[in-house]
Amino acid sequence: MISKEQVEHRYKTLFGTEPSHIVRSPGRINIIGEHTDYNEGFVLPTAIDKAIYVAVGRREDNQIRLYAEDFRAYFDVAIDDIQPVDLGWPNYILGVVHQLRLRGAQLGGFNLYVDGDVPLGAGLSSSAALECAAGYALNVLFDLQLGRVDIAKIGQLAEHTYAGVNCGIMDQFASVMSKAGHVVKLDCRDLSFSYKPLALGDYAILLLNTNVKHSLASSAYNDRRAACEAGVKLVQQHNAAVNSLRDVTVEMLDNWVKPIDTDIYTKCRFVVEENERLDRACKALEEGDLDELGEQMFQAHEGLSKAYEVSCAELDFLVDYVKQFPEVLGARMMGGGFGGCTINLVKTSFQDLLIERITPVYKEKFGLELTAIKVIPSDGTALL
């Protein structure tokens, strides 16, 4: 955990003045609902107790001066000269500035310091957390009167335009809007949302990071999107009211897609069923039925691995391995696939023993270190 005092002290050392504001914006997990976002479906994320911290203060001139603790690096640019840069990290902040100015925000020069404890490359959305922290900090610094949903949308557009990643809204939305002890049921079609209780009792959420990212990831993602769009087009020939897989039933797929292309059928069916699993997971949370929640997680992994084909040997191994322990109620791969983490619903008292057992077995099988990350569902973006 990074303290406010730590951030304040570093800002003062680097910029010679006190920061006006310090903002904390968290990373996120997704309990269930994978590859549903770009099909106008539902997702079930929540923020975690790992975050990006941003300290800001105004300058007398029109310079933007950034410092990233992770890279021990400064970046300077005049506010009128901002554009995407080859150096990766400034883009997440500059992209936010760009979006704010497109909306007519009157910004001046500022200093901004960034640090964080979201594990990088684990699929916990450190980039979205940085965008939202920067957006929130500039909102208060320049009194822009933006709402939280606006900040999430600005973060998403910053990622599209400056970081060059065509992401959905889930990561930014979860970072800004989460509430401790709850998950957010987010409708990716119209951004309506509700909070569902996440009362874990004797259980905890444990992430196991494979520490792999297979090169298949981006091409496979594009292929899956294309398959989903192709399935929708086939259904639309018979039903003009359908806009996305959100509107499609398994019966429609059976009638109009399966006879034409079994691969497109299988991929589309996964998305339709994943939305149904998410509904069952929400019902389980409302009833405090963690066994049922865990069962939906295991089923989701099966679908992601066999039907949607976005898993990999490392992820499948981790999910299969934990099934032998009654203390693990559910597990699945989390995120786009082909690497990253599994999310596990584990008896709190069993976490350390599970880590102790699974780490050497994973290392022996794949020659890789396994990183265990304990996370606690937490509140979204806030001023410290």
Catalytic residues: 171
**Dihedral, 318, 216, 337, 94 alpha carbons, nearest 10:** 130
Annotated binding site: which residue ranges?
Answer: 34-37, 121-127, 159, 221
**Dihedral, 270, 276, 282, 286 alpha carbons, nearest 10:** -150
- Token reading at 192: 């309506």
3-state DSSP helix/strand/coil % of the chain, to nearest 5:
45, 25, 30
- Token reading at 165: 């990643």
Which residue's entry shows tokens 């398959």?
227
Give CA angle at 178 (174, 180), nearest 5°.
Answer: 140
Annotated binding site for substrate: which residue ranges?
Answer: 34-37, 221
Residue 217 CB coordination number (10 Å): 17
Annotated binding site for Mg(2+): which residue ranges?
Answer: 127, 159
Instruction: Give CA–CA dist 356/365, Å, rounded.
Output: 15
> Bridge partners of 377?
48
Closest C-alpha among 70, 65, 56 to residue 8? 56
- Token reading at 28: 């996120």
